[in-house]
Amino acid sequence: MLKILKPLADIAFFSRGPDILPSSNAFIGLVIALFSVATAVAFYVAKLSMIYLMPTLLLSIAAYAVLTLVPLRIAQKQERVAQTFAAFLGTDAVITLLTVPALFLLVNFPSDSLSYQLGQA
């Protein structure tokens, strides 16, 4: 799993570009699975209804696909579609996983008690 997360984190932190990712359907499948797990974890931590998880995943993946395919097709760079699509989904997953602790704090502590506790530190 770290072999997948390391290059995606490098892309998310602007250290490298999507050209470091493999251009294969298997890798896209792994990134979609990672994106799905990260989104499910965020839904669970935020105490959102799991009824909306699948539509959210499908709409997000479709939006990323369109936002990848259309500009690259206009620029006639179809060979970069797989890497760019994987980079979009992967960086979203990495950023989502990084924000889960903050999401947990926001959901589980009322704003008044959290600001009071932070003020006492």
Q: Where are the domains of the chain?
A: 2-120
Is the CB of residue 99 less than 8 Å from the CB of residue 45? no
pLDDT tens by residue, 43-71: 999 888 889 999 999 999 999 999 999 99
pLDDT tens by residue, 11-35: 888 888 888 888 889 999 999 999 9
Q: What angle do CA 110, 93, 101 make, to 5 degrees?
A: 25
Rg of the chain (C-alpha set):
17
Measured between alpha carbons, how far is 39 from 119 in angstroms, rounded to an integer?
32
pLDDT tens by residue, 64-81: 999 999 999 999 998 889
Measured between alpha carbons, how far is 76 from 70 in angstroms, rounded to an integer?
10
